[in-house]
Structure 1
Amino acid sequence: MLAVVVSRADEASVHVGEHLRETADWTETTDDSRPDADGGGTVYRTDEAELREFDDWHLELDGVAEAFDDPDLLVFASRHAGETDELLTAHHTGNFGEAEFGGEAGRFARACPNAQREVVTALAEHAPEGYEVGVECTHHGPTSVGVPSMFVEVGSAEAQWRDPDAARAVARAILSLRDVAADAPRENGSRRHLVGFGGGHYAPRFERVIRETDWAVGHVAADWSLSALDEWAETDAEREAVLERAFDASAADYALLEAERPALESTLERLGYRVVEETFVRETTGVPLELVEALEAEVAPVEGGLRFGDPATAAERRTDWEVVEPPADLRSEAAGIDAEALREWVASNALAFGTEQRGTVVTGPFVLPPETTRDSLVSALAEILRRRYDSVEREGDELVAREEAFDPDLARTTGVPEGPKFGKLSAGEAVEVDGDVIEPERVQRERIRRFTL
């Protein structure tokens, strides 16, 4: 069940609450067990959602989930204040350092990474013209809510707080969460959750991940948050405890860094978390994490060039495959003829494949599913070779490619001087030498290349 918190101290929150009640059919009941100021009084309920109003500011509402009837997810409908013009945003709550604005120092509320991912999508869908949609770093309380939670906000000044279109957009986005789980499904003992580190208060890299991949983001420590952590923590152990709390409150085992931070990366890896690049996040989108782990162990990590093909995203569970290392000269020749065609075939037929130069050059090995044989790989490479050679045939354990090619020595014996006429003959054009017309065929020899399979 979705719990929605409206603060009467927050003008924007009140307006969002009004549009929430207009957008869905609610049943009103009275809760006399709590003061009206603390979520009692009139309670609004609709399918899988409950809305309560409070007098205090949101960031002062520690333990607020207790006011609701067994919620799974809680959203604070709130305003955003800043110098960012028209903005709809979402973020989790907590403090990497001192608790200047609610909550406890070095503590975090339980994040809802999957729900945040969904609400950002919904905000983008419903945002009025001129409004941007973004996410923010973790930067204020409360730190003790009781269930996974986040703020969903309209900003960034009075004109936007009073804008009915903006309030309606936020209301619709919040209501879209009624059947959404706080967390992504568990896979291979983990989840597609990231803790973010670095960057500014507004987090475009992490927003990009949320909107363009199937990974979700929990708590985010901006550059200033990490500085605040360093200032607040008196010992390395205390600092590491805060980092571990951020991962625990995000239900995450992976970290994504905005920029290189060797010391932080080393600390996170020592604590047992995997630091990944955005390339990893994008390349593993749609690929079961169990398969990712297995193929990284057998071939190479994604950061080392492993890439996944279309079969890796198939719904069925993959447990068997063959790792094929194509002959280097054959693979290189095919790539030289048509690198795009080679990559297209591999991406369409292989579970995964090795690359170099940050994923731009296909090198192998190729991880083939049972339905794709080594012979089909050889056939695909042969087909690419036929674009250059006159014939390409398999002869036993060899692939034999033949072509009639310009032979400079033959050209010299016919009296053709080196220079432009060599170029014309090589391109298949006849030339004239001392009144004699030299056809290209006269200066060609059969060239044979053999590729051992």
Structure 2
Amino acid sequence: MIAIVVSRADSASERIGDHLLDLADWEVREDDSRPDAEGGGTFYRLDRETSVESSDAAASDDGRFELREFEALHLEIEDAAAAFDAPDLLVFASRHSGDTGPLLTAHFTGNFGPAEYGGVAGELAEACPNAHARLLDAFEKHAPESYEVGMECTHHGPSAVGVPSLFAELGSDEEQWDDPEGARAVARAILDLAGVEPHRDRQVVGFGGGHYVPRFERIERETDWAVGHVAADWVLDAMGAPEANRDVLRRAFEASRAERAVVDGDAPELKRVVEELGYRVVGETWVRETTGVPLAQVERLEDDLSGVEDGLRFGDRTPESAAGAADSATATEGDAESAPEYEVVDLPDDLLVEVQGIDPEATREAVAANMLAFETEQNGTRAAGRAAVRAPDDREALVDALADLLRVKYDSVAREDGAVVARATTFDPEKARTLGVPEGPAFGKLSAGQSVTVGGEEIAPETVQSERVRRFDP
């Protein structure tokens, strides 16, 4: 069940709440066990079988909602889940304040450092990265034309909610807080969370960057990884030295259910401490390249070949793609059984160099189509070194594919005694000089296959040609 907190101290929250109630047929209930100011009194229930105007999201076995109103501002409400009937996820419908214009935004709560705006210093509420990713998609779907969609770092209370939670916000000033279209968009997006799981198997903690976190938003929107707590640069400054705040950093991973972190910027001490705590620091490239690949397979291939950050790239992907896995709570985590057996082979580097000079894009496609994974150089742009294949025939298939690409440049290409032999008939400048052809335009014509006249004698292009033979031993 998804709990929704509406604050009477927040006009935008009240408007979002009004639209939530307007969008579906809620059941009105009474709770005399709690004060009205703390979520008691009149509250509202909605189950997933009820017709909801805004939601076309696939529901799981539990698509129920419960909406309760509180007197205090959201960031001052601790243990909000206690007011609800065993929720799995809690959403604070809230305003966003800033100089950012019309904006729909979402973030998690708690404090890496001092508790200046609610919560407890150094304490973090449990995040819900998978639900956050769904909410951003829903914001994008429902946002009025003038609104941007964004993601913020963790920057205020509450620090204890009782279940995974997030803020769904309408911003950024009075004009938007009073905007019925903006409020309705947030309400529809919240209802689109019906049936969502709070977590997925692939989640990271974010460190660095500004208050608004485009790098982490890209990761969440464009890969099958979701992002938990994010400590922006100013948040890290407020926290203090990583070495002295190991417990806070550990809590960020625990509250995000993550084993990996992405760091935006250069933070050697932070990275060291994170690694010493038993977590792994990875880059955005690693996150993108591992999308769709079982992590058990990634780990084995990085052990047997090189690391993704050192140029390892993956070929044929598992059936799950980034698009298909992005909203899954079990997105391609993989285990030993899901990772195929393979053997490590050397790539045909000389052949690759020649073919990459002819058609680099087609060369990359041929390698990716036949290799399970492969090493690269030049910032991941050129395949070179070693690769993993599921069967020896895969390497032979790659050689054949590369040989086919040679035909763009060579007159004939054949396999001879295991080697790839390419032949091309080309203009031979030395033969032309021997026949008295002056360098310049005459050379150009002969090279283009046109006859020239020198000293009254016609010289045909074939008389100044030689056969060039290249042999590639793959």
TM-score with structure 2 setting the length: 0.90
Kept in 1, the 8 Å contact 2:243–2:273? The answer is no
2:439 to 400, 418, 424: 418
1:7 is matched with which residue? Answer: 7
Residue 49 of structure 1 deviates from its aligned partner by: 1.0
Does 1:346 find its partner at 2:367?
yes
2:239 is matched with which residue? Answer: 229
Q: Which amino acid in structure 1 is aligned with residue 310 of structure 2?
A: G
Separation in 1 of the partners of 2:190 and 2:424?
Answer: 66
Does 1:22 find its partner at 2:22?
yes
1:139 is matched with which residue? Answer: 155
Separation in 1 of the partners of 2:108 and 2:379?
Answer: 33
Give a deviation string over 1:339-370, Cα, whole Å, max 9, x none: 12101222333322221121122224333344
Structural mapping, 1:184-263, within 5 Å: 184=200, 186=201, 192-230=202-240, 237-263=243-269
SS of the counterpart of 1:219?
Answer: strand
Does 1:89 find its partner at 2:105?
yes
Deviates more, 1:20-29 or 1:302-311: 302-311
Kept in 1, the 8 Å contact 2:370–2:394? The answer is no
Separation in 2 of the partners of 1:296 and 1:24?
Answer: 50
2:281 is matched with which residue? Answer: 275
Residue 244 of structure 1 deviates from its aligned partner by: 1.0
1:292 to 287, 290, 298: 298
Residue 31 of structure 1 deviates from its aligned partner by: 1.1
TM-score with structure 1 setting the length: 0.94
Give a deviation string over 1:147-202, Cα, whole Å, max 9, x none: 00010010111111111111111011111112101101x3xxxxx21111111111
2:468 is matched with which residue? Answer: 447
2:32 is matched with which residue? Answer: 32
Residue 428 of structure 1 deviates from its aligned partner by: 2.5
CA RMSD of aligned residues (A): 1.8
Separation in 2 of the partners of 1:391 and 1:318?
Answer: 40
Separation in 2 of the partners of 1:263 and 1:437?
Answer: 76
Gaps of 5+ in 1: 187-191
Q: Which amino acid in structure 2 is aligned with residue 143 of structure 1?
A: S
SS of the counterpart of 1:373?
Answer: helix
Residue 423 of structure 1 deviates from its aligned partner by: 3.4
Give a deviation string over 1:28-54, Cα, whole Å, max 9, x none: 111111111111111211111111111
Give a deviation string over 1:62-95, Cα, whole Å, max 9, x none: 1111111111110000111111111111000011
Separation in 2 of the partners of 1:314 and 1:227?
Answer: 39
Q: Which amino acid in structure 2 is aligned with residue 25 of structure 1?
A: D
Give a deviation string over 1:237-283, Cα, whole Å, max 9, x none: 54111111111111111111221222222222222222121111222
Give a deviation string over 1:303-356, Cα, whole Å, max 9, x none: 111112243455893412333323321111111222121012223333222211
Deviates more, 1:250-259 or 1:348-357: 348-357
Kept in 2, the 8 Å contact 1:135–1:207? The answer is yes
Structural mapping, 1:318-397, within 5 Å: 318-370=339-391, 373-397=394-418
Deviates more, 1:436-445 or 1:407-416: 407-416
SS of the counterpart of 2:12?
Answer: helix
Residue 445 of structure 1 deviates from its aligned partner by: 1.8
1:264 is matched with which residue? Answer: 270
Separation in 1 of the partners of 2:392 and 2:174?
Answer: 61
1:129 to 145, 156, 159: 145
Separation in 1 of the partners of 2:347 and 2:231?
Answer: 44
2:87 is matched with which residue? Answer: 71
1:170 to 180, 183, 186: 186
Q: Which amino acid in structure 2 is aligned with residue 395 of structure 1?
A: E
Separation in 1 of the partners of 2:452 and 2:280?
Answer: 65
Q: Which amino acid in structure 2 is aligned with residue 54 of structure 1?
A: F
Shift of the 71–371 alpha-carbon distance from structure 1 to 2, 3 Å rule, reads: farther
Separation in 1 of the partners of 2:85 and 2:230?
Answer: 29
Residue 299 of structure 1 deviates from its aligned partner by: 1.6
Does 1:116 find its partner at 2:132?
yes
1:189 is matched with which residue? Answer: none
2:457 to 429, 436, 444: 436
Deviates more, 1:253-262 or 1:426-435: 426-435
Percent identity of paired positions between Structure 1 and Structure 2 = 60
Separation in 2 of the partners of 1:370 and 1:118?
Answer: 39
Give a deviation string over 1:112-140, Cα, whole Å, max 9, x none: 11110110110111001101110111110
Q: Which amino acid in structure 1 is aligned with residue 6 of structure 2?
A: V
Separation in 1 of the partners of 2:472 and 2:211?
Answer: 56
Q: Which amino acid in structure 1 is aligned with residue 222 of structure 2?
A: E
SS of the counterpart of 2:285?
Answer: helix
Separation in 2 of the partners of 1:371 and 1:41?
Answer: 70
Residue 383 of structure 1 deviates from its aligned partner by: 0.2
Q: Which amino acid in structure 2 is aligned with residue 42 of structure 1?
A: T
Kept in 1, the 8 Å contact 2:340–2:390? The answer is no
Deviates more, 1:330-339 or 1:113-122: 330-339
SS of the counterpart of 1:311?
Answer: coil
Separation in 2 of the partners of 1:440 and 1:363?
Answer: 38
**What is the count of residue pairs matched by the alignment?**
443
Separation in 1 of the partners of 2:426 and 2:205?
Answer: 58
Shift of the 226–341 alpha-carbon distance from structure 1 to 2, 3 Å rule, reads: same
Separation in 1 of the partners of 2:344 and 2:407?
Answer: 25
SS of the counterpart of 1:129?
Answer: coil
Separation in 2 of the partners of 1:322 and 1:264?
Answer: 37
Kept in 2, the 8 Å contact 1:312–1:352? The answer is no
Does 1:398 find its partner at 2:408?
no
Separation in 1 of the partners of 2:393 and 2:250?
Answer: 43
SS of the counterpart of 1:153?
Answer: strand
Separation in 2 of the partners of 1:313 and 1:259?
Answer: 33
